Amino acid sequence: MQWTVGRVKITKIVEVESIGGTRFILPQASTEEILKMPWLVPDFANEQGRLKMTIHSLIVETPEHRIMVDTGLGNDKQGRSVPAWNGLNTPYLTQIAEAGYPADSIDLVLCTHLHVDHVGWNTRLVAGRWVPTFDNARYLFGRTEYDHWAAHQDDPAHPPVSFRDSVQPIVDTGRADLIGSDYRVCDELTLIPTPGHSPGHLSILVHSQGEEMLLAGDAAHHPVQMMHLDWSSTADHDPAEAARTRRALFERFADTPTRVIGGHFSAGRVVRDGDAFRMKV
């Protein structure tokens, strides 16, 4: 799936799709509650009230850059808390090449945050070692995000296995730049600090020739959180802050032409609905 924003092209590469089985992410999202929101069907839920979600990457092609935003789960990874995420063997690299973006053509990798399902393809396993997947790219990690996970490597409550196999190897090879939310990626990309889901979460506003698209990352996991701003993911670092971030973000872009795409849901426009919001495709 592709979108254009002025002179920028955005391509979604889906690694994993799921229908239902998301109660561990949004425990409030029962089928009964979902069916109360018919606007979710068919794009964001099925007729039985089961949520539709994906793990995907977004390739942002500007006139000067090919930027990979988030890199999914990755192949051959182990130690993941979700059993189905271990030992994957997906055709992700073939998919991006067939879309016109072979790995060696990517010149920037930008991670909205450093959770397991957003960093996996940063590295690939070669002769028993984790090496950068995108050979010609610089990797951009939020400094606040990186510092947090680097300081929690020995915390048994949050074992950051993905940090050790998908983030630290990039830093060790000198390919990473640790950035603040004021970092200038390029003319067409502006960073927006959206903490809560993780300490240093960043969203990305793509703008060109008067058009905009917000790459929200995991500021919201699913459009149902537009209607229920207080429904926080079980993976949120600070649920109260995450809810405040969602409200501020949706207030900013509601009833505007700006399309919004999440780290696990596809694109639409945010519209006001009473004191909350919903997604309109």
Residue 276 in 3-state DSSP? strand
* Residue type at 70 in one-letter notation: D
Q: Please classify residue 38 by burial: count the beta carbons closer than 10 Å to its beta carbon, then call 0-12 exposed, 13-18 middle and 19+ buried.
A: exposed
Residue 19: count other Cβ atoms within 10 Å of its Cβ: 12
CA nearest neighbour of 44 among 11, 81, 19, 71: 19
pTM across the whole model: 0.93
The answer, yes or no, to whether the previous bond of 83 is cis (omega within 30 of 0) is no
Domains in the chain (CATH in brackets) are: 2-280 (3.60.15.10)
Query: What is the reported pLDDT for 200?
Result: 95
pLDDT score at 20: 77
Cα pseudo-dihedral 43, 47, 51, 54, rounded to 10 = -40
What integer pLDDT is reported at residue 212 of this predicted model? 97
CA distance 136 to 123: 13
Q: State whether residue 271 is helix, strand or coil.
A: strand
- The predicted pLDDT at position 156 comes to 57
Question: What pLDDT was estimated at residue 81?
Answer: 83
Report the SS3 class of residue 148.
Answer: helix
Name the nearest CA neighbour of 139 among 94, 185, 102. Answer: 185
pLDDT 10s per residue in the chain (281 long)? 999 999 999 999 999 998 876 666 888 888 999 999 999 999 999 999 999 999 999 999 999 999 999 999 999 999 988 889 999 999 999 999 999 999 999 999 999 999 999 999 999 999 999 999 999 999 999 999 999 999 987 665 555 789 999 999 999 999 999 999 999 999 999 999 999 999 999 999 999 999 999 999 999 999 999 999 999 998 899 999 999 999 999 999 999 999 999 999 999 999 999 999 999 99
**pLDDT score at 158:** 57
Beta bridge partners of 10: 3, 60
Cα 50 from Cα 18, distance rounded (Å): 10
Q: How many residues does the chain have?
A: 281
Which of 196, 171, 157 lies closest to 119, judged by CA?
Answer: 171
Which sign, positive or negative, has the C-alpha torsion 236, 134, 190, 272?
Answer: negative
**pLDDT score for 152:** 83
Label residue 43 exposed, middle or buried (CB < 10 Å: 0-12, 13-18, 19+): middle
Instruction: Tell me the β-bridge partners of 35.
Output: none
| pLDDT value for 2 | 94
In this prediction, residue 190 carries a pLDDT of 96
- Quick count: other Cβ atoms within 10 Å of Cβ 81? 12
Query: Rounded to an integer, what is the distance from CA 133 to the centroid of its chain?
Result: 18
Predicted pLDDT of residue 82: 86
- Cα–Cα distances in angstroms (integers) from residue 39 to residues 226, 277, 278, 281, in the given order: 12, 11, 8, 9
